[in-house]
């Protein structure tokens, strides 16, 4: 294995006096940028303990889970814990009305009862290498770098990833494990306690966790699912601490934050807020229809649980973001920063030539692309959400691809059918029909005439073979000609033609904005070269650190840094779907059968706690660790008052909401009856 040497990025990004709470820091630069501040705050680890490419380190226990969350290994037998909402889609896909693991919970009592999850994978970070100098001089060498890395790390996947709007580049190598099995989770009433009412809110009492296990081939390397596979033996697993937390304790998070926008200009932020408004309006309408159907039928609730949760999470975040941006004057503050930047640029002729044109040009092209940008968003959030169109488009795409690759018509039809047929498990035609009518009306009422498309919803759903799997199967038997003329296919294609035209217009401006953003960001880095700096999140592993901390959301109000199981019982309302409490949990609470999961100072079970670490979507499921790197909780949410945090960090308000690991273990052990799993874990008291 080659030893990777870091240089260019470190020289560009080196910062001093990094703040404890703000920042999603790159792991290879911890030694140069962060470790002293971390140690002063209370961390007892070295940078090498956290990230090493030549020895085992904490990063070897952290995975990207399913492409959009984070998980961590908590035993030497590949046991993994993440958030309940991260495992939600997988658990839902395994559930049926007869075996509803989502609603009822599930615990495998041995390896044989662990359930394979088709399509689920996890990625372990193997190495990051700064390749900025090579890529900036020779962009064509990216593939050569990837090929070389995959030779150095057999069985792994590599890619070149850009940071700071393409001013910095890293070669990143991952080992991808594809045999992941569901071990257990509490019922949804605990794993999603509080539902959308409590989402993004504090105080919080959600036991947001689920457990899976990573399996490998007998050589411990990644392998496709096989009954012969064995539990993965990790290079590192996290110790679990039952010591508890106190206000002011050191805490840190490692994970895969998704996307932030802290290098966007004021004009870009205003454009994004405009598209968010479109999404909020469309999702408000769609979610109302979904919720009514789910409330009326338990089967529909199971079918649409994951779809509804995914939609509403972004919807509520955007609503909170709009309010926070206005209240905290985020756009105005960004504009003020840009004015100060331009003053600095104007004081030097070379800087003026290098950076002086970027901001005005970004503003011009953002305004030019805004009409197509908003039109695309409106299309995707309305007509693009009609499931019938999605089935038709997916079917035709697979069919055409297979034919292009030389398959016969019969084989191509079979491949397309096999791809679409499983989707009907989670499809309810009457709901899709209602959504299609409402969403198409919303789209046409708010779109320019040239972008409209009339949809006769009654005719569409009465005559399309895509409304159920039986009709589609019968149509496939007759050949492709009839399917090609299906109203869902023809209308979907008309919609895609509108989208392609809009995207062509959007793309020519977006490309220019991207190039200009690289120039602007380079200027910002030079202007603030002596200040702490970290790149926007982009689903790569980061570390953020701070302390356990309460906060004051408004005058006269102080939010304590933790909640307890008592609060669950105070909120309990079994007539309200979002606030039900399992009978077994209530029994444990009444009997005070808490074992060593209670707080020694008051005998209560901790539920959730607050830290001031800097996170965003993608960090869900991330391990919250103490000063020694022991697991004390799982990150799962942010707070309502700081919904603008993807744009600008607010130290007095921004908090990460975490579920206490003791509450997780109580639900697993005392309520779920899966205490045997604790025997796998390395518990620290």
Tokens of 175: 């080992």
- Annotated catalytic residue 208: yes
Residue whose tokens read 């995914």: 310
Gap between the Cα atoms of 37 and 50, Å rounded: 15
Among the listed residues 57, 84, 85, 95, the single catalytic one is 85
- Is 180:121 a contact under the CB 8 Å cutoff? yes
Contact 82, 634 (CB under 8 A): yes
Tokens of 497: 């033609």
- Helix or strand or coil: residue 621? coil
Cβ neighbours for 279, distance < 8 A, ≥ 6 positions apart: 314, 315, 318, 377, 381
| Helix, strand and coil percent figures for the chain, each rounded to 5 | 50, 15, 35
Burial 438-448 (b: 16+ CB within 10 A, else e): bbbebbbebbe
User: What does the alpha-carbon distance between residue 81 and residue 399 come to, in Å, rounded to a whole number?
Assistant: 39
Tell me whether residue 385 is exposed, middle or buried, using C-beta atoms within 10 angstroms of its C-beta: 0 to 12, 13 to 18, 19 or more. buried
Q: Is the peptide bond before 203 cis (omega within 30 degrees of 0)?
A: yes
DSSP 8-state class, residue 668: I
Structure tokens at 575: 């007539």
Entry field: residues in the chain: 685
Q: Where are the alpha helices (DSSP H) in 73-199?
A: 84-94, 101-104, 132-137, 142-152, 188-191, 195-198
Tell me the C-alpha to C-alpha distance, in Å, between residue 503 and each of 370, 451, 491, 519. Answer: 11, 12, 18, 24
Q: Where are the alpha helices (DSSP H) in 446-582?
A: 457-463, 469-478, 480-484, 487-527, 565-571
Q: Assess contact for 162 and 200: CB atoms under 8 A.
A: no
Which member of 312, 620, 622, 644 is catalytic?
620
Residue 443 near residue 379, CB atoms below 8 Å: yes
95 sits in the region (left: phi over 0; alpha: psi -120 to 50; else beta) called: beta
Beta strands in 226-338 (DSSP E): 230-231, 240-241, 250-255
Q: Is the distance from CB of 294 to CB of 308 less than 8 angstroms?
A: yes
CA-CA distance, 503 to 510, in Å (whole number)? 10
Active-site residue identified among 21, 130, 179, 208 = 208
Residues with a catalytic annotation lie at 85, 208, 620
């Amino acid at each position: 294995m080659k030893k990777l040497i870091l240089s260019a990025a470190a020289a560009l990004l080196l910062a001093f006096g990094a703040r404890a709470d703000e920042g999603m820091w790159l792991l290879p630069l911890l030694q140069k940028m962060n470790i002293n501040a971390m140690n002063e705050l209370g961390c007892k680890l070295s940078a090498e303990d956290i990230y090493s490419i030549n020895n085992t380190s904490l990063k070897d226990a952290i995975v990207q889970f399913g492409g959009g969350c984070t998980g961590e290994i908590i035993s030497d037998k590949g046991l993994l814990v993440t958030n309940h909402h991260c495992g939600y889609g997988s658990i839902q896909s395994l559930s049926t009305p007869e075996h509803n693991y989502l609603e009822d919970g599930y615990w495998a009592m041995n390896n044989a009862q662990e359930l394979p999850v088709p399509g689920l994978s996890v990625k372990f970070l193997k190495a990051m290498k700064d390749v900025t100098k090579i890529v900036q001089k020779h962009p064509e060498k990216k593939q050569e770098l990837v090929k070389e890395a995959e030779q150095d790390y057999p069985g792994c996947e590599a890619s070149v990833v850009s940071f700071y709007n393409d001013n910095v580049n890293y070669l990143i190598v991952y080992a991808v494990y594809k045999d992941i099995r569901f071990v257990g989770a509490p019922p949804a009433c605990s794993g999603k306690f509080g539902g959308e009412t409590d989402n993004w809110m504090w105080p919080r009492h959600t036991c947001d966790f689920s457990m899976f296990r990573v399996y490998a081939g007998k050589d411990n390397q990644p392998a496709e699912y096989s009954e012969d596979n064995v539990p993965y033996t990790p290079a590192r697993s996290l110790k679990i601490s039952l010591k508890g937390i106190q206000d002011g304790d050191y805490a840190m998070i490692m994970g895969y934050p998704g996307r932030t926008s802290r290098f966007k200009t004021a004009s870009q932020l205003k454009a994004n807020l405009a598209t968010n408004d479109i999404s909020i309006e469309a999702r408000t309408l769609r979610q109302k229809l979904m919720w009514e159907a789910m409330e009326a039928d338990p089967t529909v609730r199971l079918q649409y649980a994951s779809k509804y949760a995914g939609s509403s999470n972004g919807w509520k975040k955007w609503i909170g973001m709009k309010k926070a941006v206005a209240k905290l004057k985020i756009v105005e503050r960004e504009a003020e920063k840009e004015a100060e930047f331009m003053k600095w640029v104007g004081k030097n002729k070379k800087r003026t030539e290098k950076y002086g044109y970027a901001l005005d040009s970004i503003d011009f092209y953002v305004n030019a692309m805004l009409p197509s940008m908003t039109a695309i968003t409106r299309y995707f959030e309305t007509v693009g959400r009609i499931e019938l169109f999605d089935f038709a488009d997916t079917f035709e795409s697979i069919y055409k691809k297979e034919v292009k690759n030389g398959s016969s018509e019969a084989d191509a039809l079979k491949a397309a059918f096999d791809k679409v047929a499983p989707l009907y498990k989670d499809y309810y035609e009457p709901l899709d029909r209602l959504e299609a009518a409402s969403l198409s009306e919303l789209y046409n009422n708010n779109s320019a005439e040239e972008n409209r498309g009339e949809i006769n919803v009654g005719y569409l759903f009465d005559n399309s073979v895509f409304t159920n799997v039986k009709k589609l199967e019968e149509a496939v038997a007759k050949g492709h000609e009839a399917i090609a003329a299906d109203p869902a296919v023809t209308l979907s294609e008309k919609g895609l033609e509108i989208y392609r035209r809009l995207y062509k217009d959007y793309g020519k401006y977006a490309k220019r904005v991207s190039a200009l953003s690289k120039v602007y960001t380079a200027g910002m880095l030079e202007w603030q070269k002596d200040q702490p700096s970290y790149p926007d999140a982009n689903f790569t592993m980061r570390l953020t650190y701070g302390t356990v901390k309460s906060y004051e959301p408004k005058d006269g109000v102080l939010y304590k840094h933790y909640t307890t199981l008592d609060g669950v019982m105070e909120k309990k309302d079994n007539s309200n779907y979002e606030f039900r409490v399992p009978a077994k949990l209530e029994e444990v609470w009444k009997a005070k059968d808490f074992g060593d999961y209670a707080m020694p100072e008051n005998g209560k079970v901790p539920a959730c706690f607050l830290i001031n670490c800097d996170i965003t979507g993608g960090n869900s499921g991330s391990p919250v660790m103490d000063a020694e790197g022991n697991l004390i909780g799982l990150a799962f949410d942010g707070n309502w008052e700081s919904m603008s945090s993807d744009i600008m960090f607010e130290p007095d308000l921004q908090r990460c909401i975490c579920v206490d690991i003791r509450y997780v273990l109580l639900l697993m052990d005392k309520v779920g009856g899966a205490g045997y799993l604790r025997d796998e874990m390395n518990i620290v008291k």
